[in-house]
């Protein structure tokens, strides 16, 4: 029951922190959105982005966003005294669920258009 309460609290915090988190990365988010629409990067179940097709600055975008995500996941995990892997898993599932159709997600080790 304690784990369920911690996970629920984590999800709430993640939802509340997302707008503030994204404001500091507005330019990177804009570039990320464009890269996703072009099929250059995609979401993974691990909570991080990966390059689907190396073109332009896809690698740089992925590295910048993943660093920010890694820092945020660590902060949330520490705050709620849960493993970072648990935060990554929940965030990864949320990212896959929120990915619009036509963009890439990693499913069973394969890139597929959602």
Determine the structural domain holding residue 43 and report its residue range: 2-113
Structural domain count of the chain: 1
What pLDDT sits at residue 71?
A: 97
Global pTM value: 0.76
Q: Which of 19, 26, 58 is nearest to 42 (CA)?
A: 58
- The answer to whether 74 touches 84, Cβ cutoff 8 Å, is yes
Return the structure tokens found at 114. 């959602």
- The answer to whether 64 touches 74, Cβ cutoff 8 Å, is no
Task: Determine the Cα angle at 29 with ends 83 and 92, to 5°.
Answer: 30
Stretches in the chain below the pLDDT threshold 50: 4-5, 8-9, 12-23
The strand ranges marked E within 32-79 are 41-43, 49-51
What pLDDT sits at residue 28?
A: 76
What pLDDT sits at residue 1?
A: 52
């Amino acid at each position: 029951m304690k784990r369920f309460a911690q996970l629920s609290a984590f999800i709430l915090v993640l939802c509340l922190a997302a707008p503030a988190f994204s404001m500091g990365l507005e330019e990177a988010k804009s570039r990320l959105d464009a890269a996703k629409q072009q099929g250059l990067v995609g979401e993974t179940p691990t909570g991080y982005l990966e390059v689907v097709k190396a073109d332009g600055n896809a690698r740089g975008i992925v590295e910048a966003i993943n660093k920010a995500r890694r820092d945020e996941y660590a902060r949330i995990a520490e705050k709620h005294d849960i493993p970072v892997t648990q935060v990554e898993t929940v965030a990864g599932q949320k990212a896959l669920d929120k990915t619009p159709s036509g963009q890439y997600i990693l499913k069973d080790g394969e890139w597929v258009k959602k």
